[in-house]
């Protein structure tokens, strides 16, 4: 059974710092991996999608990497801002199903 783990569960960093969020999954037979952002009381917004054949994707200050063989992905956020405060979730697609991690709650300190 595929399991997705995100560490740490919560993280606080000063504004301006670069940071890395981690995601690991137990079965490397994934179709793709996606990173989402969720603001309190809101739905999820897709940030980056990495296909299983890709190693990384970039969007603005965000960079996501995928190492399928080791079952790991990282989300790198450069020059963090208070507006980046949110919960970040990763999810892997296996067949028709999407399996989510429990998320990392990020707080950027002004």
Partner 1 sequence: NAGVTQTPKFRVLKTGQSMTLLCAQDMNHEYMYWYRQDPGMGLRLIHYSVGEGTTAKGEVPDGYNVSRLKKQNFLLGLESAAPSQTSVYFCATDHRDEQYFGPGTRLTVT
Interface residues with partner 1 (CB under 8 A) are 31-32, 34, 36, 41-46, 49, 51, 89, 91, 93, 96-103
**Dist. CA 108–CA 17, nearest whole Å:** 9
Please report, for residues 11, 27, 37, 59, the alpha-carbon distance to residue 47 in angstroms, rounded to integers and kept in the order given.
19, 23, 7, 8
Q: Which is nearer to partner 1, 51 or 81 (CB)?
A: 51
At its nearest, how many Å lie between partner 1 and the CB of residue 18? Answer: 26
Q: Which is nearer to partner 1, 2 or 28 (CB)?
A: 2
Q: Which is nearer to partner 1, 14 or 40 (CB)?
A: 40
Between CA 50 and CA 57, with CA 101 as vertex, the angle to 5 degrees is 15
């Amino acid at each position: 059974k595929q399991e997705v783990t995100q560490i740490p569960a919560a993280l606080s960093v000063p504004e301006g710092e670069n940071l890395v969020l981690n995601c690991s999954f137990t079965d490397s037979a994934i179709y793709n991996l996606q990173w989402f952002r969720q603001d309190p009381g809101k739905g999820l917004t897709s940030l980056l999608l990495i296909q299983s054949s890709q190693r990384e994707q970039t969007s603005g200050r965000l960079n996501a990497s995928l190492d399928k063989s080791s079952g790991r992905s990282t989300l790198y956020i450069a020059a963090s801002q208070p507006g980046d405060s949110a919960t970040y979730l990763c999810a892997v697609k296996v067949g028709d199903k999407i399996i989510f991690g429990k998320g990392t709650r990020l707080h950027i300190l002004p």
